[in-house]
Amino acid sequence: MGRRSDWTGTSCPTARGADVLGEPWTLLLLRDAHAGVTRFEQFREHLGIADNVLSARLARMVETGLFTRVPYRDGGRTRAEYRLTPAGADTLPILHAIAAWGDAHTSSPAASEPMRLVHTACGHSTRPGESCDHCGAEIERSGLRLVESWLHHFDLPLAEPVG
């Protein structure tokens, strides 16, 4: 399926943001990347996405600066990991807001815990930001853990961006 529209040339920041982030697979790939998923096979396994669609999405996310491609050796073969860039890392509040909206305004086919960010120092849930909602302490990305139990059972420190 081709792209619906190209809003790269508009002065509207919402349209430009939608141009980069508006495709559903992009948001799900970002969600998994924040939890530390980096490899093609892991994304495919978690999302059940077709290889050609995944390949095209990852290439677009590298092109738009959300991911950087980092080579690694797997046996005798060179493969790539896809790591969040600072721009990709900046999507965390967006994903958190979409998850909160989805939890409040859509129904789940099974009981599930909402996606949460946990401040590791105090152990309480918080929102992305400069300080913890519970204890008020200043928080760094490395001091947050993503808890997402309904699909992949993530309970991991947030992946650090590259660059």
Give the contacts of 57 (CB within 8 A, at least 6 positions apart).
Answer: 23, 25, 26, 29, 49
| CATH of region 13-157 | 1.10.10.10
The pLDDT-based confidence of 87 (bands split at 50, 70, 90) is: very high
Domains of the chain, by residue range, sit at 13-157
* pLDDT attached to residue 58: 98
pLDDT tens for residues 39-72?
999 999 989 999 999 999 999 999 999 999 999 9
pTM reported for the whole predicted model = 0.82
Residue among 161, 120, 146 nearest 35 (CA): 146
The pLDDT-based confidence of 152 (bands split at 50, 70, 90) is: low
